[in-house]
Structure 1
Amino acid sequence: MGIDIEGLILDLPNQRWFGAKGKPIASWEIVDAAEGPGVDVAFALVRIRLEDEEEQLYSLPLMRTDEGWADAFDDVHRLRDICRWLVHNTTLEGDHGTFRLTGPGLDPEDPPGIDARPAGFEQTNTSMIVDDTYIVKFFRRVQVGPNPELELTRLLTNAGFEHIPPHVGEAVYEGSDEEGPERVDLLIATNYMKDSEEGWSFALRKLRDLYDEADPADAREDLPFLVEERSGELLRWIDQLGDVTADLHVTLAHEEPSPELEPEIHPEPLETTELKELGESVHEAVDRLIAVGLKELEEPVPAIEEKFARALEVSDAGLKIRAHNDYHLGQVLLTGRGWMILDFEGEPARSLEERRSKQSPFKDVAGMLRSFNYAATAVLFERGRPGSEEWERLQPWADEWERVARERFLAAYLTRAQTEGRFLPSDRETWTLLLDAYEIDKAVYEIEYERAHRPEWLRIPLRGLQNVLFREIE
């Protein structure tokens, strides 16, 4: 299929989802493309080469206009026909492979596609909401091999896991010769969770209420009771979130072979060598940060080394499983059916191999616990600057809420995980050491991110790191 998209390629660096910001494009080529039946809409796979010789692969949904081919998200209404292709299990033939669209969860008697609008909330992908019933996510920067978002959502749907928006359709490219990539996942369609609220915004809203009720006359010794009483609704939802998180891990840690669980999903022992590699990665990141002038990390180095040394001494670290791998309050929705977990794609900047790798379940747990710390402190930033009178007045409330939220989440998580699963270490000291290791890893990652993007927020992960390092094991 011959298409001219040079103008669109030149505009790629201006797209939010472009993965090579600040790197000039040296050259590009269309790997394969195919036009849909009866409409001026097409798919294209494009490989770009950057001036530093890095190559990246992009999936572009296209539409024909009077001026030529353009990104179809310039007029998302034109993409409604993709839903019809999904319903009818359509195959589009390219020069070097096929674009296969299937919709196992869609009803041919009642096909979607009356209305479509952009979702408008992504940075690394683009999505459209169809008929207020389905959401279709188009992966933009793609890699050869199964995308974990599609892979795990499909698997969990087939396994009957109730706390995700169910998978209803997908599009996959399959190469038929050496010119075309072997397999590239292009999009996923799921149910759209309308009338829902993101976990992050829900937590911030409830924390604002808690801080509004903080009375200077309240005695410090009464804080545990007051925080539990005044944030009871939020804490009850955190109880449920801990339970749902454990349910996710129980499902993904299914140890018996089954049609729903592919071989790459089955759990394996978490080896000491992997914990050693985690510690080395943290050490390298800390060294980088100190080298660029972050002297606040010099003092904690011995404590970090001690934490990982103790983690390496454990005799049974439990199992590693396929997990979420980018888990925080922004990845869960509160709906009329309880919590729904979103976005299993992993951190987009990481390789596909890393995003599909098996991890200790404590990686997800640590991510959510760090998110509680961020939520409590984010609302403090709304009330004043660090060191201000208002900040100092509310800091004890933030600390106490985070302590209780951690405690409640972990209690609910461990109750379900240890009752229904066999993937965690059995003794408290061991799992605490492992959780500390993954929290340190997450906090150091956050420190690198905040230093580069939000220096004023550096104090959040720095303080969080201190809390982990000097927390006593009960």
Structure 2
Amino acid sequence: MKVDPAEVSRVLSGWLGQQRWYAGKSRDGVIAARLLAELAPEPPSVQIWIADVTYSDGQLEHYQVPLVFRTETVDHLDHVLVGTVIDIDDDRPIHLYDALHDKEVTGVWLARMAAGDTVDGVVFDALDNPGEIPVGETSLALTAEQSNTSLIFGDTAIMKAFRRVEPGLNPDIEIHAELTRLGARHIAKLLGHVTAEVDGQPWSLAMLQEFMTTATDGWQFATGSVRDLMAEGDLHAEEAGGDFAGEAHRLGVSAAEVHADLARAFGTSELGSAELGERAAVMKGRLDAALSEVPALSTVADGLRHAYDDLANYDRPVLAQRVHGDLHLGQVLRTVHRWVFLDFEGEPAKSIGERRRQDSPIRDVAGMLRSFDYAARHQLIDIGATSQSEFRAAEWADRNRAAFCQGYAEGGGLDPAEVTVLLRAFEADKAVYELVYEARNRPNWLPIPLASLQRLAAGRS
């Protein structure tokens, strides 16, 4: 089969904007598709294409789009039909489907990985033991993920295909590879990965990890505790049967142990006054940009600037190391034996270079504290807040935030109570990001970050 890249560009132009992982929904851009590799010959052909998106402001983004080429339509794949093009050789219609949702062909990724193949410059690599890769297992595509696409193979492995791609080794692969070699306790072992040379540089395409079959998602675990509390009449958070504080404490200990593993694997450095000033300036820039989108932020802007000034004027060196970069309750799993940390990719909106940069581990602590606030208060948006429910949500958040911080300090991390300037600035910066996100996507959730920003602007971390 041979198709015109211009025709693939045409169908992708109508399809990309409907995908959850496409970041350019609100922007005008021109899409140009190019073939990267053919993983399996016809029938059906499985190919990886790159969609280059050039926006009206000149910014360029790249998206990985694995496609399966079929000469007949497939009813059960209607929901992932990308479009129809014409075979250049014989004028037959070819139906393009998102290959990651086609169980008949997804096994080629694992087979290639186990064999250590290189196909058209795409390198499939098993990290240590190819026998651990479950070749032959059926895949199931997860639907909840927003920035990538993940497939579960049997009940033993999960493959994440990166959708937005760029030059450089993705931190998720880099960190998991090093921590797997260290035998780190709080991660899912890396089994293999897929990389390619694109435009003369290495790009990360996918990674395969062990799958935690019986694990509980941290967000679901925590919000279940909040629901239990709200259903318990007049009990306080520590009296409710679903009290989460013990788990929050263990999660804090685990976070400190993960940071220790990262420091062991990648080393540490120090942030001096110049580096802290640079970070404070970036935070102020994000605040100014947010003010143009969320006018309600103006009531707390001065207090937030004071928090960033305090960071810029901080007079002690700050430990820096590789960090998670986007830590929240949705990035952790509770197994029978331990907490497991996922997705060391960092914030997707940042470049790979930014995500690989060493930073204060307190940034991760701040991210988790923000997540406790969300877990406590998001249900009030749906059910309607009362003075009693607001009080109980605040009590749950305060209790679990304190438990996490205590656990983090006991696990060997910096005591958050002793670095309140750092914690306040990092948490405020995260809450500003949340405010903009909610304004764009869930305006009725704006009260959650806005309430936190009012607290932080007043000087309370």
Q: Deviations over 1:131-172 (max 9, x none)?
A: 121111111110010111111111111111111111001111
The separation in 2 between residues aligned to 1:118 and 1:109, in whole angstroms, is: 20
Residue 243 of structure 1 and its aligned partner are, at CA, apart by 0.6
Residue 290 of structure 1 and its aligned partner are, at CA, apart by 3.7
Aligned equivalent of 2:250? 240
1:156 pairs with 2:179: yes
Aligned equivalent of 2:34? 30
Aligned counterpart for 1:196 among listed residues 208, 215, 240? 215
Aligned equivalent of 2:25? 21
Counterpart of 1:195, as a letter, is T
Aligned counterpart for 1:78 among listed residues 105, 109, 121? 105
Q: Deviations over 1:413-467 (max 9, x none)?
A: 011224xxxxx4x8954x1111111111111111222222222221111111222
The separation in 2 between residues aligned to 1:27 and 1:399, in whole angstroms, is: 46
Call closer, same or farther: CA 1:414–1:50 in 2, change over 3 Å. Answer: same
1:112 pairs with 2:139: no
TM-score by length of 1: 0.84
The separation in 2 between residues aligned to 1:468 and 1:148, in whole angstroms, is: 30
The separation in 1 between residues aligned to 2:149 and 2:110, in whole angstroms, is: 16
The separation in 1 between residues aligned to 2:343 and 2:299, in whole angstroms, is: 37
Aligned equivalent of 1:47? 52
Aligned counterpart for 2:149 among listed residues 117, 126, 142? 126
Aligned equivalent of 1:257? none
Given that 1:326 and 1:347 are in contact with CA atoms closer than 8 Å, whether structure 2 keeps it comes out as: yes
Residue 319 of structure 1 and its aligned partner are, at CA, apart by 1.2
Call closer, same or farther: CA 1:101–1:434 in 2, change over 3 Å. Answer: same
1:210-289 correspondence runs (5 A) = 210-215=229-234, 226-230=236-240, 233-254=243-264, 261=265, 265-289=266-290
Aligned equivalent of 1:443? 431
Call closer, same or farther: CA 1:453–1:170 in 2, change over 3 Å. Answer: same
The separation in 2 between residues aligned to 1:302 and 1:18, in whole angstroms, is: 35
Call closer, same or farther: CA 1:2–1:25 in 2, change over 3 Å. Answer: farther
Counterpart of 2:286, as a letter, is A
Residue 125 of structure 1 and its aligned partner are, at CA, apart by 1.2
Residue 345 of structure 1 and its aligned partner are, at CA, apart by 1.3
Counterpart of 1:239, as a letter, is H
The separation in 2 between residues aligned to 1:270 and 1:45, in whole angstroms, is: 38
Counterpart of 1:407, as a letter, is A
1:305-320 correspondence runs (5 A) = 305-320=305-320
The separation in 1 between residues aligned to 2:244 and 2:294, in whole angstroms, is: 39
1:434 pairs with 2:422: yes
Point out the more displaced range, 32-41 or 398-407: 32-41
Aligned counterpart for 1:460 among listed residues 436, 448, 451? 448
Unaligned runs of 5+ in 2: 72-92
The separation in 1 between residues aligned to 2:303 and 2:210, in whole angstroms, is: 46
Residue 324 of structure 1 and its aligned partner are, at CA, apart by 0.8
Identity of counterpart residues, as a percentage? 33
**Corresponding residue SS for 1:184:** strand
The separation in 1 between residues aligned to 2:54 and 2:200, in whole angstroms, is: 16
Aligned equivalent of 2:65? 60
Call closer, same or farther: CA 1:13–1:209 in 2, change over 3 Å. Answer: same
Aligned equivalent of 2:394? 399
Aligned equivalent of 1:383? 383
The separation in 1 between residues aligned to 2:306 and 2:245, in whole angstroms, is: 33
Counterpart of 2:18, as a letter, is N
Call closer, same or farther: CA 1:299–1:51 in 2, change over 3 Å. Answer: closer
**Corresponding residue SS for 1:76:** coil
Given that 2:409 and 2:416 are in contact with CA atoms closer than 8 Å, whether structure 1 keeps it comes out as: no
Call closer, same or farther: CA 1:361–1:15 in 2, change over 3 Å. Answer: same
Given that 1:33 and 1:45 are in contact with CA atoms closer than 8 Å, whether structure 2 keeps it comes out as: no
TM-score by length of 2: 0.87
Given that 1:87 and 1:104 are in contact with CA atoms closer than 8 Å, whether structure 2 keeps it comes out as: no
1:417 pairs with 2:444: no
Given that 2:326 and 2:367 are in contact with CA atoms closer than 8 Å, whether structure 1 keeps it comes out as: yes
Unaligned runs of 5+ in 1: 219-225, 255-260, 419-423
**Corresponding residue SS for 1:101:** strand
**Corresponding residue SS for 1:319:** strand
Aligned equivalent of 1:357? 357
The separation in 1 between residues aligned to 2:430 and 2:317, in whole angstroms, is: 19
The separation in 1 between residues aligned to 2:49 and 2:38, in whole angstroms, is: 7
Counterpart of 2:174, as a letter, is E
1:9 pairs with 2:12: yes
The separation in 2 between residues aligned to 1:323 and 1:166, in whole angstroms, is: 18
The separation in 2 between residues aligned to 1:405 and 1:132, in whole angstroms, is: 32
Call closer, same or farther: CA 1:288–1:91 in 2, change over 3 Å. Answer: closer
Counterpart of 1:445, as a letter, is Y
Counterpart of 2:173, as a letter, is L
Aligned equivalent of 2:76? none
Aligned equivalent of 1:147? 170
Where in structure 1 do 4 or more consecutive aligned residues deviate above 6 Å?
A: none
Call closer, same or farther: CA 1:434–1:22 in 2, change over 3 Å. Answer: closer
Residue 471 of structure 1 and its aligned partner are, at CA, apart by 4.8
Q: Deviations over 1:193-221 (max 9, x none)?
A: 12222111111111100111132xx6xxx
